[in-house]
């Protein structure tokens, strides 16, 4: 299914971003990156003249937080891979496109909120992560 954003959709999203002090991109990590629908959103909504460029100042000074989850354990996201299924890169390294986006748009990059091992997390562990997430967002 192809997802298409109309000009009205884009304008609505841009107005929501203008009205926000904190912007949260929340997604599961897919193949060491964000899902394609988020990339499409960025391509359409964070447009030249709105988010960057000589007149694109709408996001300047806003805080931006990535909240992401991984299926694998934290050990898999280490420079040495941590185990035979390791990535050979840290999650912070995988967030480089978001740091660059913040630099270009004038947003303030926040330390990502992450949940590792989402495939196997216990109910208690998930509840604890949810509490930490709420605390993190409210502290911004």
**What are the b/e assignments for 2-14, b being 16+ CB within 10 Å?**
eeeeeeeebeebb
Confidence of residue 74 (pLDDT cuts 50, 70, 90): confident
| Structure tokens that stand for 35 in this block | 């899902």
Q: Evaluate if residue 85 carries a pLDDT over 80.
A: no
Confidence of residue 83 (pLDDT cuts 50, 70, 90): low
CATH number of 27-139: 3.40.50.360
DSSP character at residue 111: P
- Among the ranges given (19-23, 63-67, 86-90, 127-131), the one the predictor scored with the smallest mean pLDDT: 86-90
How do the domains of the chain map onto residue ranges? 27-139
Q: What value does the mean pLDDT of the chain take? A: 92
pTM: 0.90
| Predicted local distance difference test score (pLDDT) of residue 34 | 94
Residues shown for the chain: 140
| Structure tokens that stand for 5 in this block | 């954003």
* 136 backbone dihedrals φ, ψ, rounded to 5°: -60, -50
| Predicted local distance difference test score (pLDDT) of residue 2 | 67
| Predicted local distance difference test score (pLDDT) of residue 32 | 87
**Average of pLDDT values for 26-48?**
94
53/104 Cα distance (integer angstroms): 9
Are 77 and 70 in contact by the 8 Å Cβ rule? The answer is: yes
């Amino acid at each position: 299914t192809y997802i298409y954003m109309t000009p009205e959709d884009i304008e609505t999203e841009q107005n929501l971003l203008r009205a926000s002090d904190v912007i949260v991109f929340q997604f599961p990590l897919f193949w060491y990156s964000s899902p394609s629908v988020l990339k499409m959103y960025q391509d359409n909504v964070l447009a030249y003249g709105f988010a960057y460029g000589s007149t694109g100042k709408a996001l300047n000074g806003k805080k931006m937080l990535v909240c992401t989850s991984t299926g694998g354990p934290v050990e898999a996201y280490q420079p040495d891979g941590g185990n035979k299924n390791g990535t050979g890169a840290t999650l912070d390294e995988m967030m480089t496109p978001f740091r660059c986006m913040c630099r270009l748009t004038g947003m303030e990059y926040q330390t990502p909120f992450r949940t590792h091992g989402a495939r196997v997390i216990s109910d208690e562990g998930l509840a604890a992560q949810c509490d930490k997430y709420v605390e993190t967002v409210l502290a911004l």
